[in-house]
Structures are given as structure tokens and as C-alpha cells.
Structure 1
Amino acid sequence: MTPGHEPYGQSTGLLSAVMASCRDAIIARSFDGRIEAWNRGAEEIYGYSQDEAIGENVSLTTPPDRRSELKRLRDAARDGQVIENFDTVRTRKNGETFPVAICGFPIKDKQGTAVGYATVERDISDRVRSADELRRALAEAQDATAAKSRFLANASHELRTPMNAIVGMTALALEEDISLELRDYLETIRDSSDAMLHLINDVLDLSKFQAEEFELDETPFNPRELLEGATKVLGPAAHAKGLELVCHVAPDVPSRLIGDPVRLRQIITNLVGNAVKFTAAGEVVVELTEVESHHRRCRLAFRIADTGIGISEEDQTRIFAPFTQVDGATTRRYTGTGLGLTITQHLIHCFNSQLHVESAPGSGSEFSFELTLAIDDQPANPDAELTAKMKGLSVLVVDDNEASRQTLIEQFNAWGMKALAVDSGDEAVSQLRAGAPDGGGFDIAVVDALMPGIDGFTVASQIESDDSLATKPIIMASATDRLEFSRRCAEAGAAAFVQKPISQSQLLSAIGQATGAATLEGQRNQGLFDKPSVQPLTILLVEDTPANRKVVQTVLSRRGHHIDIAVNGREAIDEFRKKPFDLVIMDVQMPIMDGFQATEAIREIERGDSRPSTPIIAMTAHSMRGDRERCLRAGMSSYLSKPLDLAKLLKVVESVADRKDGSVAWPSNETPQKAPSEPDAEAPPSRRLVDLDAALSRLRGDRSLLRDMIGFYREDAPTLLTAIAESLEAGNLATLERAAHSLKGLSANFDAEAVVNAARDLELAARTGEEGKLSKLAADLTKAANQLMDFFEDYLGGE
């Protein structure tokens, strides 16, 4: 104790009371290293009595590896500073080490001079134990989430695999010369299969949303065909309940947009499916109109309205929660996962929009949203010749549903026809007797078959049997069974028929058939095998599922290609060693050896044998984020998801045949040798560095994938450049060769000739041991690669 200072034993009564009652350890220490005060809390925590502790060294409870903390506390107290709470460990009398939280402060005499320091030490074993349990629970939850994601991905794969066979075989059957009735059955199977795939995706999508791993694609599509196709699938369900299902697409909606048609169709299917499910009588109207259009972009309004049970204001927020329907009774009455609206809302958010609902119990519901999409180049209208022949024709529309009448009138007006609508069979007969408003007769009548009072069949029979009625061509419309419908239409004398909800293409074909402007009989749609086959390819198909092998083999064989089969990655490697192939189609998930491992082995064989790089197309039924990118990183050249789009499969496969002359490089790890040339001073910088148009063409216009690949380049190229510099400094030519080779393949994806040529030169020099050239070649490659990365940065920043 410093002479002249007040001893610790003369503390005030208040301070003694506080120390005695506090359950935390309060310990006072002198600067010369002795314990001067030890309260009851310290006795309970550490196990030493006051008599045992006072006078002992300050390190009594401090483990050897924590002694530096005492010095820090002492030095801070001498400077008059307070040490805030910090966590550490201390030792009890019985040798047990446990966690504590400590704060320290100086002890001063009456003159304000620091004479020692004190600590308040709290046993935090319970807190640490709880934190450890929380961490373990979090780790278990994360493991469970990862397991769920793996399960969902695998379950999706297992469900998609048989669906691939169903969709593929149906597509092949539709290529045959079959009757209209059988074709209709198969088209229904195809459309229903698409709907089933959407349902399979629901649970997987929910997992993606929760993990924030969802992204949209961008591809051209026809919004009218999308909307009409989505509603047609739900037509039988609507008809079974006696509902009128109307699909109305305004004539001014562009015929070609860029967006994600799969997800947009999923939105429409979910909303229309819900409307049909919760509507007992009346109608469901699906409407698409254009709000505005400028600068090659348009804003579209989607509206789905029904006359169903309605939703209370309270339930209008609750229905968007997962696994929730309007109420318990409704859950028992109406089947479903309860995920539809949850996923729909998330999907619309991904499109940067909001889903709005207007409803009241018993008054039906209206769901609406607006999307802004880019307008693609509008293709030539293949129906222009037919619509020109129909211009000026007068048509009588007979339908008891107002929405159906208005939709048909609008469409006929858009085609230049003169349309008049009535809402009953009696009015139709009266109007036909009176003639068209211009004084002549009607050229054609479109009649709803199922109407109250005089139905459409009766109207058609009266027209057919009455020679005084000039209108003979009749098109019947109904949502009833097509086979039965067609028989009754023929008996009633109808010239053609359309099935509700009526699509524009279906209506146009029926009018052409009824008026003689065109004929449906004998016509065959453009098929997969109609155009002449390109130069035959020798293809190695690697697929473990027999049904999937059969689909792909049938399609490619009928195009004239020769197919060899391997059922796993090991067999693929064995087949690849035996002979060269123009192309490998590789399933990703297989037993024994998967597609990634097989691809890596094939690339090694090519490098070892100095063989040119063979294009490898990945096939996978997984759809989690990163699957496509992983395929490309593994050395695969392109990616197709299951169920396969057969037309897309042919397009990707036969692009190899189109490029076999070497004039355009396939985006792989190898690029044909090109002679060095001086850059064209007149060409824009982007053309000297890279050809993004060619890269985008090989990616089938997938700008999202192009941006991803650019991101991969910006991520991987600096690492490879660093590896090149380190290998050069260390004299490790093998590592230098591999890094240059990887950068060459990475740059070849963009036709980046300067980088590819520089990387190839460095790779060759490292392989042949030309050490005198390496420094300059490495510098040239670094300069070219950095220029390319600068261009990519400007490109992405300007989008």
C-alpha cells in the first residue's frame, strides 16, 4: 500500500453493503499484485473464502495464458481508465475453467489518485451454454435447410425424369399422320403435362424464394399464344363446373416480347386455376391489354376476374401465406397445396411488379398486375394472306355470355370484318331473317352451342333446313368434349367448330375452313423433321434413363444422325477413347460416374492426345440456381434442361454441324488456331476485343447467361493472371501452361481473339520450354486480358 493513502479496509458502510449483497464477484487489487477485497459473490463463484483469497497474488483465479489481461487492467487503472466488459475464462478452486465477463475500473483515494484497481466478474456459463446451444441449433437448421434443398432438387429430378419421357413421346406422336381427334387428345396430354410440370416446380420454387436463389430468364415469346395456351389447359375444369372461361387479348398487344414465358405462364396458370377452383357458377375472364408503349418497351396489364366466392378484406393478406386458403372450411372443401398465390406473388415481385386483389365475400374476385417488357422484333404475319381474304366479311356472333361476345367482336373488327352480336338463339334466327345491317346477308355465323332456350345446335339445324336463310357457313363453339361435339356439329350442319376458350389461331383456322379461304383437312403443322437434315453427326448420348435415351435417340436418328449410347460416365469415357465424336450429349446425374466427372475426364483425354475439343451438351433435370453455370465451368459447351424442348435440342445439336468448317468457334475450351493479325484501326474497340453477338448467338439469345459468363470471366481471369505471374516467377512451366490454357478457354467463349491468341502463344511456349519468350508473352496476355475486363466492366455498367 502506498504510504499516506487510505487503506482498503476503511471503505464506507454503503460500499461494504453493496459488495456483500452482489452475486457477482467484486475483487479489489493493489498495484503491487495482492488481492485486497473479496466479496461473498467471489466466494460463491470461485470457491475460495475471503480468508483464503485476501493477500494472495492477483493471479489466484487467472489461467496462465490469460495473465496478460491482469496487466492490461492494472495499466488502464493507473491511467484512470475504465475497461469495458470483455469475455474471458477463469479458474475455480477445484481447477474447473469457466467463462466470465469482466469489467475493470481504478480505485482512487480521497485526493483522486489511483491506488489500485477492482474488477466485477460475472459467471456467464449459462449464457455461453445457451449461445452454444443456439449455434448448434442454427447449424442443425442450416444442415436441415441444405438437406431440404438437396431433397427438393433430387425429388424434382426424379419427377422430371418420367415427365421427360411423357413430353418427348407425345411430341413424337404429334409428328405422325393421325386423325384430328387423336391429335386433340395428344395435344391435351402435352398441355396437361406442361401444367403438371408447373405443379412440380411449385415446391421447388418456394424453396428457391426462401433461399433468395431465384432468377428470371429472358427469351422471346408470343404473349397471345402464352395466355391462350395457359387458359386452354384449364378449359375442361371450367366446363365441368359449367363455367364460361374467356381469354381476351387486345389486338394492339405486341406479338413478340422478351421476358420469362415459363414463369409468366406459371403466374397465369396459378391465378386462373384458383379462379376456376373457387367459382361455382358464372364466368372467369382472363384479359391482357396494353397500357403504354415507348422506346421498344411496353407496359401490359393482366387481369383475371371471376364470379366466385370472393375474399374478405381480412383474408386478402392471409391468402398469400404459404399453405393457406381462405378458411378452414374452404381448405377441406377445395383441394390444393396452398402455395399457388404465395409463389405467384413472389414471381410477380421478381418481375418488379405487385399483385393487386379486389374482392368481397360473395361478389367474386379480381387479381391484376402490370409488367413492363421489352418488345422484340415483330415477325412477319404468317396469317396476313388469310386475313386479307376475310376482310369485309360480315359475321353474326351468337353467345349468351357478354364477355365472350365482346372478345369475338373485337377480334373480328381487328381482322377487318363486320361483326354483329346477339345473346340468344331466338335473336339469332330473327337477325338472320332480317339480314345484316348493310342490307345483305351474313357471310358466316359463330354460334355458342350451349345456350339457354334455343341452343346453338337448334339454331344451326334451323339455318340448315331453311332455304330462305342465306347464311350457311356456321362455326359452332363450345367447351364440351370435342369428339362428341364434332359429331353433333356435323349432324347439325356446322361447317367447322372451335373449342372454348377460343384462341385466335383456332378461330382463324375455323373461319378459313368454313369459308373456303383455307382448309384444315390435310394440313400438317411444321414439324421437327420437315426441313432437310443438316450434315449427319456422330453423337455420343450419355443417359442412364431408358425412356430419356429413347426420346433423344429417336429424334436425332430421324434427323439422320448416328447415335452411340453410354448409360453412365464410365461407359462414356470408354466409348470416347475408342473413336472421335462430333458431339457428346451428357446427362449430369448418373450412377458410377456423373456427367461432371465424365466431362473432366474427356477433357483430359483430349489434352493428352492433342485432340480437338469436342462440344459437350449437358442435360439436367435440376433447376436450382448455379446448375447451368456449374455445367459450363466443368467444361461443357452448352446446357439443356429437362424435360427437353426437342426443337431447342435440334437447334443446339445441329449448330455443331453448321460450324464444322471451323469458321466460327464453338464455345468450348479450345479455339481453332488463327494467324496473328494487326487490329483493324477502323473497327470499334468492342469488335477488336470481343464478338458478343457471336457469343450471344451460341447462347441462343440468352442475355442472362451471357451476363453470368461475363461475371465468371471477371471473377476467374484475375486469379488465372495471378497464377501465371507466380508460375513464371517460380519457373513452374507445367502450372503456367495450365493457367494459360484455362484463360484461353475462358476467353474463347466470347470470341476474344486477342486474349485467345496471346494465351495460346504463352501456353505453347510453356509446353515447349521456350523460357526466353515467356516474360513478354505473359505481359502481352495480361495487357489483352485487362483490356477485355475493362470492356466488360463498361458493358455491364451500361446495361
Structure 2
Amino acid sequence: MASRAPKTGVSVETQLRERIRDLEAQVKMEQSARKAWLASEERFAMAVRGTNDGIWDWTVGTTDVYLSPRFKELLGYSNNELTNRFVEWETRLHPEDKACTLEALNAHLDRDQPYDVEYRLRCKDGNYRWFRARGRSIRNPDGTPLRMAGSITDITERKEAMRALAESEERFALAVRGANDGIWDWNILTDEVYFSPRWKAMVGYEDHELENLFPTFESLLHPDDHDRVMQSVVDYLEGRLEGYAIEFRFRHKDGSYRWMLARGIALRDATGRPYRMAGSHTDVTEQKQSLYALAEGEEQLRLAKQAAEMANRAKSEFLANMSHEIRTPMNGILGLTELLLNMHLSPEQRSYETLVRQSAESLLTILNDILDFSKIEAGKLELDEQEFRLRDAIGDTLQSLGVRAAEKNLELACHIEPGVPETLVGDIARLRQVLVNLVGNAVKFTHEGEVLVDVKMEALSEGHVMLHFSVKDTGIGIAEEQHHKIFEAFTQAESSTTRHYGGTGLGLTICRQLVEMMHGRIWVESTPGAGSIFHFTARMGLITAPLPCKRPEPQVLHGLHVLIVDDNATNRLILEEMLKGWQMIPTSVPSGVLALELLGAPQGRVFRLVLMDLMMPGMDGMEVSRRAQLLLGSDAPKILMLSSAGHIMELAHASHSPVGRVLTKPVKQSDLFDAIVELLGLCEEYELGDTCPFHPLPSKPLRPLSVLLVEDGRVNQLVATRMLEDRGHAVTVASNGREALDMFAQESFDAVVMDVHMPELNGFETTSAIREIERASGGHIPIIAMTANAMMGDRERCLAAGMDDYVSKPVRSGELYRAVESFTTIPLSARGGTPPCDMPDPLEPEPDSVFDAAAFRESINDEDLMRQLIEIYPEDSEDMLLAAETALRANDRAELHQAAHSLKGLLGNYSAPVALEAARTLSLLAREDRLQDAPPVLGDTIREVRRLGDALKAFAKTLPERDAPPTDQ
């Protein structure tokens, strides 16, 4: 700055003072400026320290640059780890970003273009991070840059987010281009909609042919669907629907309509207001067409099903009518034949009657086969499982076939392995049906030799046993290619078989289906001319408590020597196994000659019993028995004759016969045991108990009944009347329902046997009328349906109509007796009638029907034992009655059966027929699960048990007093 010139006329001193003042003012200005600069520097330093960005300040043209501590920290360094030199920044630039970054820096310095650039810098850990750099330069008056300062901001996270967003958008774009569905994205605020190219192509348009606006969507909706779809959109957006998914029709460019399934979701702001909604369209036209076709097919199927059901009903009605029409005359044939066979007939007459009965039985078998096949085919055949004794059941079954085998001189034998359980649970009737069919076929197709039934245990599991049955014959055999065909319906091994042997060809089919219902299978092994073996398996239930059976302990037979004489090796082995099971000592010979030689030898004296086959070559059993009697005299052993024919039973009772007992082969194990015990006198008295559930006839009823028989057929009237009168019952006949109602109003009856099909008023209508009368007057009379219908459900329909039991025609005498007489313990007060004047009131039975004192004395024959039995009776009987009452209240069938069974066993010791029959009936009702009928019977049982108690107390007074015990003197 140039020196100011001295003023003219002013003293030097004055000039000096002015200069001093100027200098002081300049100093103050400089001091003020410095203070301002210092304040600015302080604010800058504070800003540098406080900002999250890195600050840099470069003196242009030099290598010096100020890098703030935060700048260095962003790169992972402390303040003293990096120098403030330009090279520290430049060398850390990413190689890919260096050129463009330096270019942007020079453009700012040279042309003053804005400096705002993004680049990557290498950090201390070797990784690169993204930064945004911005700066401004300070220039000389001539525009030359002197200084440039700015900041860097870490944008790594934003860059990553942008990259991820770009990738997501790329994936979305690819998905939109590749998706089979149409994509849409609706901006609710602007009504703009993004429709993907696929969305538009689904209705036949190019991408540029449709505007991306919401009205485009509305315009394509089918008129019938428009309001429904729009309302659905509004309901979803306003929160009345949880989701948006709807089907509608969309108009195609060609004018047709396509079915679309639209799904979408809305985005909402913080207040819950929707601002955007996106989703997809799926073309479901083909599925809709398939559904329409399916619905049409289902309708056709429904109509076909209805037609099939109508056809099935027609078939069932035809079978029911056929059953009725055939069984009605069959009832007359079989019933009259049974009555005739019980009369005194000449041998020729008996032969003819037997042939008639056998022919009728054959016809009935064919009818039953057809009905069974129909039931199985309709899926309406059910197994009726109950407890049974396997050996007795199979023995009874085979004995019923013994005559047929004997007529052809065939040996029929049965072998059951010792390990097979005795008492099982299953449908014994259906098991017998399978065995009868297989054994019957074996007998039919075998002309000489034997038929052997073998039973063994195949598998044992908890609660069940799988049994393996085989029926082996020495018959004509079956070709291998026929092994599977014979189990098909209406098929036999050869076309000539039906003509030669007869039959429907249904038997083995029914066997196969029954076996499968019993969780088993059936197959055959056979060679033509070498016989056949039919196998089948069946699953049976096991029970922990065996059926009661009062018989001697097998120990009474231990160690007894028995001689077996039979020419058939199979029979000898079976008999040996049975005897060894009772720990007897058997010796077997195949002929009568060898038997006589052995009996005549010294060691022959040890035999107390001979099991003798009747039919043996050379010397038959009767001849051997006579010679043994002559040979040994009084030392001759007891002879038990085994006969395949069953027609010499009277020989066993002839005075001159050396035979003690005769049994029919195949021998039942229980029958053999009983016969041996009785023949050898090893047990004076014992009860067989319920050893076999197939008794030919029930025991005689306690008293005769007055029975109303309602039947329109004269032959059936004759048969049923004769059967009932043979049992001592009084029968009144009504020819139709109207007559029955008149008689019911005028007389009292114990039971009604009601035919179902009758003119004027059928059995159902008559029963309904009787039940209406009883509802008004009280009481309940047992009504037993008697019908020629035998289809599945007939029994249930009869019971549902108010009947109490059911027997099918042709009626067997045993079935009729059991049905009618099972109600003898139901009091007349429960039946709604009064007893006839010539019949005692069951509520006041004759004294010995409550307690037969004479029989009690005879059976016990020990006064002390009688006293003990009388003393324990009240407590034991009341405990059992309490158990029965508790079980009935709980509707517990098993417990009621157990209590009634125990009570029955107790009462059997006291010669009390009425009480015993009441307990037996209660046990039967529980076993058959007829608990609805049990309350009145339990009432009868309680009354009779307590009446017996009173009678026993009175009887005890008639016994002599016990001698007083001696006393010490």
C-alpha cells in the first residue's frame, strides 16, 4: 500500500496523531477479523467433529489435503494412521471407479461443473465401501481454483438396497414375462393399473392394445358377473372380506368368454386405508369345463345308480318272492315228512319218505345257496359271533354227513391237533357251512377210500387264533387249470360235472367269500385221479373263561389200557391221539384176527376196553366181538363199537349183543369220553352240561302253553299244529289276521305264531293291531313270526314291527319249539292276558315246581350236606342277583350273562325247575344281546330265587337236628 502524502498546512504532529489513529483503527479491524476467523474455524472444527460425513479440504495444485478424523474413521483408520496427503485418497479409489472420478474432479476444476460423484474406496480391512462425494472450489479473481473442500457420505447400505431392489425388479419382470398367469398392479389413488403382457394375451390382446386403467378391467367383465365382482372388490378393500379370490368370466378379443380366477392383496397405509392392490389372473376355463363334464357325469352316474338300485331291489324282491313261493310248499313237504317218519312205517314206506325228505333238503340247499350268494353280493351278510366248542361243533357237523359217507362205504375221519384251543369265539354256523360244503363235495366226488378233515393252529396272536382247516379226499381230483375257476360263481371243474353230480356251482364261491369274511383264504391242491385237498384258514377269537361243562376229570381214565381195532390207519392214529390226550394207554391193530390173537394172549388180559370198528374186511366188528366173548367169557373187556353207517344202533341194546355201546363215526371227542366213562362205570353221576350248542331238540317245557297259530295255508296249519301238539301245547288256529284279532279279544294265549303273508290282514298289520290293544290295556304277548322269507333284513323287519322272534319256513320242529318255549318264564301279567282255567297260574306254580324236595333228597343223599347247601344259599343267591341287577342297569351284556350263568350253576344244585329256567332264559337274553327283553325276566328270576329260599327254609325244618357235640364231664 502507498504512503499517504502529508497535508499542506498541517503540522507534523497533527499528521502523526492521525496516522496513529488510522493504525489503531486498522489494528482493531484486523483483531476483529481475526476473532471472526477464529470463531469460524471453531465452528468448522465443531462441524467436522459432529457430522457423520467425512470432510476434506484440498489446496489445489499441491499434495496437501485435509482429511477429517471422521473421513479416516469411515475407512476404518484412526486419525494418526493416515497422512493428510492427496495420494492417500487417490490410491484407495476402486480401479473401476478411478477414471470417472478423476474426470469429474477435473471437469469441476476446469469448467466449474458440479462435483457430485459416487465411488468405492478401499477400507483398512481390504473391502470396498460405496461413498458419495460432493465439493466446491474457491477461486482467484481470474477464476483459477485455489482451494476445494467437500464431504463424503457412506452409501454402501443404500447401494446394496438399490442392487437388491434391482434384482427383485428384474426377477419380477422375468416372472411376469414367464408366468402363465396374468399379473396386475392397481394404484388405487390414480386408478392406473399395470397389466402384464400375459394378462392381456390371456384375453387375446397385444400389450399396446389395452390401456393400463381400471375401467379396462371393468369393460371386460361379463355383464352377469360385473356387479358381483365389483362388490367383492369393495367388500375386500373395506375389510368385510378377509381375502380377495373370485371367479368370473372375461370377454376375449374374439367375443367368447373365458373363466378367470382372480386373487389379490392390498397394501394399506398407517391409517389402514388401501392405496395399492396387486394380484394375478388364472385362466380356469378348462377346469370349469371339466367340472361341468364331471357334474354331468355324476348326474349320469346318479341316474345309473338309481337304475342299478331299482334293479337290485327288483332282484331282491324277486329272490324274496321266490324264497316265499318255494319255502311255502317246502314247509309242507318237510313238515309232513318229519311227522310221517315219526310214525310206524314199513321199511319200504320209510325208504320212500326218506328219499322225499332228502330230495326236499337238496332243493332247500340250492335255495339257500342262491340266497346266501345274493346276500354276499349285496354286502348284507354279517357274521354272528358267539362262544362255541370247536371239537364238539366239528364233530356234530361231520356226524350229520356220516350217513352219506357210509352209503358210499367211505371212511369219514376228523383230526384236530391237541394244541388247538377248545373254546373259541366266531360264527360257528358259517364255519359249519363251509365245512359241510367242502366235506359234502369230497363225499360226492369220492367213490372209494376216505375223506379226512384236519384242523391245526397256524398262528396265535393276542385275542385271536388263525386256524388251518384241510379236507382231503381220494376222489376224482381236479385239473390244475381249473383250480382258480372253481371258486367263481356258477362254475364247476367240467361242463359235465353239473349234469353228472348236480349242484348250482355256487357252493365254493360262497365258501370263498365266507372265509374271506373270517379274515382267511381258501385254495386247493389236486391232481386228476389222485384226489384233492381243500385248504382254508379262518381267524377265531379266544376267550379267557371257557364255557362251563360238568363232566368227570380226565384223571379217572389215566393209565387204562385200550385196544383199538380198525382197518383204517387214519382212524387208528386219530383214536390213539384222543386216548393219549387223556393219558390212557392205547394199542392198535388193523384187523379182527390180530385183535383176537392179542386178546387171547396173556398180555391181552390188561385191556379193559376195546374200540371196535364195525365195517372191516374179512371179519367185521360184530363177529370179532362175539368171538372175544366166547374166548374170554366174563374176563372179556367192554366193547365200544364204532359204526360208519349209524343203522345198527339197536344192536347195542339187544340182550344177546356183546357190544356195550355204539358210536357213529366220525367220533366226537366228547361223545367218546362220555361213552367210555359210562361204559366202564368210572363215574356214577355227572352232568354233561352245555357241551354242544346244537341239541336236536330243547328240553321239555315247564308246562304246556296255549298257542294261537295264525296261518292261511292248510298244509302249514297241519304241520305247525301237529308239531306243537306233539310237545303238549294247546293250539288254536286262525286263518287270517282278522280272525286272529277276534280270537285274541275273546281268549287268552301264552304266545302267537304269526305267518307274515296272509290275505285281508297280513302278519305285520295284525301284530300292529295287537300292540295297539296292549298299549291301551297293558301287557305284552310274545309273537313269533313264521315266514317263508329268508332274505337279509327279514328278521329285523319282523322285530321292528313289534314281533318278538322269527322262524323261517320250512320250519324245523326244534327251531319252532325254542322260539315258542323261550317265553315260558315271562309272567302272564307282562303278556296282558289271564291264564286259561285248566292251566295253573305261573305266578302260583305247583309246590314241587318251586322246590322238588324228593329230588333234592335223592340227588344229595346227605343231610349234613343238604343243611350246608341251604345255609349258603341266601348269601350266594343274593350276591348273584345283585350282580345281575347292577349289570342290567349298566346295560352291560357280558356282566349280565356272567351273573345269570353263575346263578344258573347255583340253582342247578337245588332241584328248582322254575327258578333254573328263569335264570337260563336270562342268560340266553344276555348272550343274544336282547337286554330290552331282560327286565321282566330278571323280575321273574328274583321272585323265583327268593321263593326257593323260602321253600328251602321250610324244608330245613323237616331235617333231623344235628346231634349235640359231647361235653367234658
TM-score (normalizing by structure 1)? 0.61
Q: In the alignment, does 2:706 pair up with 1:538?
A: yes
> How far, CA to CA, are the matches of 1:551 and 1:652 in structure 2?
16
Q: What is aligned with 1:555?
A: 723
1:23-102 aligned at under 5 Å gives the runs 58=222, 67=224, 69=225, 71-72=227-228
Q: What is aligned with 2:376?
A: 209
Structure 1 residue 477: deviation in Å?
5.6
Structure 1 residue 343: deviation in Å?
1.7
Q: What is aligned with 1:103?
A: 259
SS of the residue 1:622 aligns to: coil
User: Percent identical across equivalent pairs?
Assistant: 35
Structure 1 residue 242: deviation in Å?
5.3
Give the counterpart letter for 2:730 in structure 1: H
Match of 1:456 among 589, 604, 620: 620
> How far, CA to CA, are the matches of 1:241 and 1:658 in structure 2?
47
> How far, CA to CA, are the matches of 1:562 and 1:599 in structure 2?
21
Match of 2:744 among 562, 576, 596: 576
Give the counterpart letter for 2:437 in structure 1: N
Q: What is aligned with 1:775?
A: none
Q: In the alignment, does 2:548 pair up with 1:378?
A: yes
Q: In the alignment, does 2:780 pair up with 1:618?
A: no
> How far, CA to CA, are the matches of 2:938 and 2:226 in structure 1?
65
Match of 1:629 among 772, 796, 805: 796
Match of 2:763 among 574, 595, 602: 595
1:500/1:638 Cα in 2 relative to 1: closer, same or farther (>3 Å)? Answer: closer
Match of 1:446 among 594, 612, 617: 612
> How far, CA to CA, are the matches of 1:115 and 1:416 in structure 2?
88
Contact 1:299 1:373 in 2 (8 A): no
SS of the residue 1:658 aligns to: coil
> How far, CA to CA, are the matches of 1:385 and 1:114 in structure 2?
87
> How far, CA to CA, are the matches of 1:160 and 1:189 in structure 2?
15
Match of 1:706 among 929, 942, 967: 929
> How far, CA to CA, are the matches of 1:428 and 1:573 in structure 2?
70
1:176/1:214 Cα in 2 relative to 1: closer, same or farther (>3 Å)? Answer: same
SS of the residue 1:421 aligns to: strand
Match of 1:405 among 572, 578, 583: 572
> How far, CA to CA, are the matches of 1:507 and 1:567 in structure 2?
48
Give the counterpart letter for 2:620 in structure 1: G
1:414-425 aligned at under 5 Å gives the runs 418-424=585-591
| Aligned residue pair count | 634
Contact 1:589 1:620 in 2 (8 A): yes
Q: Deviations over 1:519-566 (max 9, x none)?
A: xxxxxxx996985x6444432211223333223322333444332211
Q: Which runs of 5+ in 1 are unaligned?
A: 19-28, 36-57, 60-66, 87-92, 94-99, 519-525, 669-679, 711-745, 754-799
Contact 2:784 2:806 in 1 (8 A): yes
RCO greater where, 1 or 2, for CA within 8 Å and sep 6 or more? 1
Contact 1:30 1:116 in 2 (8 A): no
Q: Which runs of 5+ in 2 are unaligned?
A: 1-189, 207-214, 237-242, 250-254, 265-275, 684-694, 834-880, 901-917, 941-969
1:209/1:366 Cα in 2 relative to 1: closer, same or farther (>3 Å)? Answer: closer
> How far, CA to CA, are the matches of 2:607 and 2:669 in structure 1?
24
1:528/1:327 Cα in 2 relative to 1: closer, same or farther (>3 Å)? Answer: closer
Structure 1 residue 149: deviation in Å?
2.0
Structure 1 residue 358: deviation in Å?
5.2
> How far, CA to CA, are the matches of 1:553 and 1:545 in structure 2?
12
1:441/1:483 Cα in 2 relative to 1: closer, same or farther (>3 Å)? Answer: closer
Q: What is aligned with 2:733?
A: 565
1:647-726 aligned at under 5 Å gives the runs 647=814, 649-660=816-827, 662=829, 686=887, 693=896, 701=924, 705-706=928-929
Contact 1:272 1:284 in 2 (8 A): yes
Contact 1:690 1:752 in 2 (8 A): no
Q: Deviations over 1:720-779 (max 9, x none)?
A: xxxxxxxxxxxxxxxxxxxxxxxxxx99689799xxxxxxxxxxxxxxxxxxxxxxxxxx
Q: Deviations over 1:216-272 (max 9, x none)?
A: 334565544432343244345545655432134567878776643322221110121
Q: What is aligned with 1:732?
A: none
Structure of greater Rg: 2
> How far, CA to CA, are the matches of 1:149 and 1:635 in structure 2?
23
> How far, CA to CA, are the matches of 2:502 and 2:257 in structure 1?
56
SS of the residue 1:701 aligns to: helix
Contact 1:323 1:339 in 2 (8 A): yes
Q: Deviations over 1:649-693 (max 9, x none)?
A: 44543454433365xx5699xxxxxxxxxxx99998545566964
1:326/1:301 Cα in 2 relative to 1: closer, same or farther (>3 Å)? Answer: same
Q: What is aligned with 1:48?
A: none
Structure 1 residue 397: deviation in Å?
0.6
Match of 2:512 among 339, 342, 345: 345
Structure 1 residue 284: deviation in Å?
1.4
Q: What is aligned with 1:142?
A: 309
1:684/1:162 Cα in 2 relative to 1: closer, same or farther (>3 Å)? Answer: closer
> How far, CA to CA, are the matches of 1:516 and 1:681 in structure 2?
41
> How far, CA to CA, are the matches of 1:423 and 1:85 in structure 2?
93
SS of the residue 2:308 aligns to: helix
1:181/1:659 Cα in 2 relative to 1: closer, same or farther (>3 Å)? Answer: farther
Match of 1:268 among 419, 435, 440: 435
Q: What is aligned with 2:209?
A: none
Q: What is aligned with 2:7?
A: none
Contact 1:444 1:471 in 2 (8 A): no
Q: Deviations over 1:391-441 (max 9, x none)?
A: 946434131x211122233445567765422234654565455x3745567
Q: What is aligned with 1:286?
A: 453
Contact 1:267 1:344 in 2 (8 A): yes
Structure 1 residue 208: deviation in Å?
1.9
Give the counterpart letter for 1:265 in structure 2: R
1:658/1:462 Cα in 2 relative to 1: closer, same or farther (>3 Å)? Answer: closer
Give the counterpart letter for 1:104 in structure 2: M
Q: Deviations over 1:304-341 (max 9, x none)?
A: 22344556777555543333344667677664323222
Contact 1:31 1:117 in 2 (8 A): no
Give the counterpart letter for 1:449 in structure 2: M
> How far, CA to CA, are the matches of 1:181 and 1:396 in structure 2?
36
Give the counterpart letter for 1:158 in structure 2: E
1:264-343 aligned at under 5 Å gives the runs 264-279=431-446, 281-288=448-455, 302-308=469-475, 316-326=483-493, 335-343=502-510
Structure 1 residue 575: deviation in Å?
2.3
Structure 1 residue 211: deviation in Å?
2.4
Contact 1:175 1:528 in 2 (8 A): no
> How far, CA to CA, are the matches of 2:348 and 2:389 in structure 1?
26
Q: What is aligned with 2:774?
A: 606
> How far, CA to CA, are the matches of 1:681 and 1:516 in structure 2?
41
SS of the residue 2:798 aligns to: helix
Contact 2:471 2:534 in 1 (8 A): yes
Contact 1:247 1:286 in 2 (8 A): yes
1:302/1:666 Cα in 2 relative to 1: closer, same or farther (>3 Å)? Answer: farther
1:353/1:17 Cα in 2 relative to 1: closer, same or farther (>3 Å)? Answer: same
